[in-house]
Amino acid sequence: MKIVTLGEIMLRLSTPSQERFVQAQQFDINYGGGEANVAVSLANFGDESYFVSKVPSSEIGQCAIDELRKYGVDTRFVVRGGERLGIYFLETGASMRASKVIYDRAHSSISEAEVSDFDFDSIFKDVSWFHFTGITPALGKKAQDLVLASLKAAKAHHVTVSCDLNFRAKLWTSEEARLYMNSYMPYVDYVIGNEEDADKCLGFKPEGSDVEKGKLSIEGYKRMFEAMIEKYHFKGAACSLRESFSATHNGWSGLLYKDGEFFQSKHYDIDPIIDRVGGGDAFASGLIYGLLHLSNGQEAIDFAVASSALKHTIPGDFSHFSAQEVSALMNGDASGRVKR
């Protein structure tokens, strides 16, 4: 299956060994971003995945492309040019100390890319699926136009479209988010978003739940999905459910509403978490894979959650698991026994 994602890829600089920023003498280098992460994960599952973006023509831009190529993502549609590659600094938390993200992503090449930089007819030729996230329009006016243009082109090529709402409070306000995300929803077939995303981006809230207080009403989520689908005519809506016990211990599961049916996944207790960045993207990629390749909604949401749970156990933004490995976990073996 040919799948396209479009968005920003950043240089991620993280401190090793649980150090705080002031303690670090080296940064571990990774590259990542919501849509790039989805592309890598899908390539690891065996799909033919394409990542579309713009990176500077420097060696730093090339490094980002090389990392994608390494994992089998097709980068032929990545444009070169612009000012810089966005950077984010990451301090990985532990126990009750949360991870800390510092963005240095303003003025990035993708945030200032023109629609005319991309040949969407070539990009969407023979494509089955297009995935984007709410992070890209949060980058600014040009990125907002770019997303709209890509959605129109995708629809013109009859491509299925998924959107991970992914609200980012450090990038834009809820008012801005609602304005733009609402305008994109008519083009979207499958929407992904947790409670906060649904509220901040689209104005929907699950009744009876309160993330901060750890309360969760599955029924409330079901009704929220139904309302969203009624308004936007989505084919489906999904979310992951994270219980944050600490920075290194989370509960993890997911919900999917599709074709009038509601599915709740298995539940995982992830302890310890090695790196939770990219966990949501591993969920999205698992869901796309599940919807494309598996036989029903239950399998799709179970695959998505297993994919995401595994991502939490390795460092970096990218998820490096084969479809077989995800299936093995989804089908039951979470005991961590060595095979030899």
Q: What residues from 155 to 214 belong to the interface with a copy of itself (CB under 8 A)?
A: 168-170
- Whichever of 185 and 282 has its CB closer to a copy of itself, that residue is 282
Residue 285 binding a copy of itself, by CB under 8 A: no
User: Given the rule CB under 8 A, which of 77-85, 114-122, 138-146, 199-207 is the region that contacts a copy of itself?
Assistant: 77-85
Binding mask 38-57 for a copy of itself (x = CB under 8 A): --------------------
Give the residues across from 6 on adjacent strands.
52
Q: 189 or 302: whose CB is closer to a copy of itself? A: 302
Question: Based on the number of CB atoms within 10 Å of its own CB, is 48 exposed (0-12), middle (13-18) or buried (19 or more)?
Answer: middle
How many other C-beta atoms can be found within 10 angstroms of the C-beta atom of residue 214? 11
Shortest distance, position 69 Cβ to a copy of itself, whole Å: 5
Which of 95, 173, 296, 331 lies at the binding interface for a copy of itself (CB under 8 A)?
Answer: 95
**Contact with a copy of itself (CB under 8 A) among 46, 62, 176, 179:** 62
Minimum CB separation from a copy of itself for residue 147, in Å? Answer: 20
The SS3 assignment for 113 reads coil
Name the one residue in this structure whose structure tokens are 């993708």: 110
- Number of Cβ atoms within 10 Å of the Cβ of 299: 18
C-alpha dist (Å) from residue 122 to 2, 77, 79, 125, 259: 13, 9, 13, 5, 31
Q: Judge whether 36 and 30 are in contact, CB under 8 Å.
A: no
> Is 251 one of the binding residues for a copy of itself (CB under 8 A)?
no
The only residue of 103, 208, 210, 331 in contact with a copy of itself, by rule CB under 8 A: 103
Where does this chain touch a copy of itself (CB under 8 A) — which range of 125-133, 155-163, 228-236, 311-319? 311-319
Q: How many CB atoms lie within 10 A of CB 29?
A: 12
Residue of 93, 203, 220, 251 that binds a copy of itself (CB under 8 A): 93
77, burial (CB in 10 Å: exposed 0-12, middle 13-18, buried 19+): middle
In Å, how far from its chain's centre is CA 171? 16
Q: Which residue of 173, 244, 296, 331 would you call a contact of a copy of itself, by CB under 8 A? A: 244
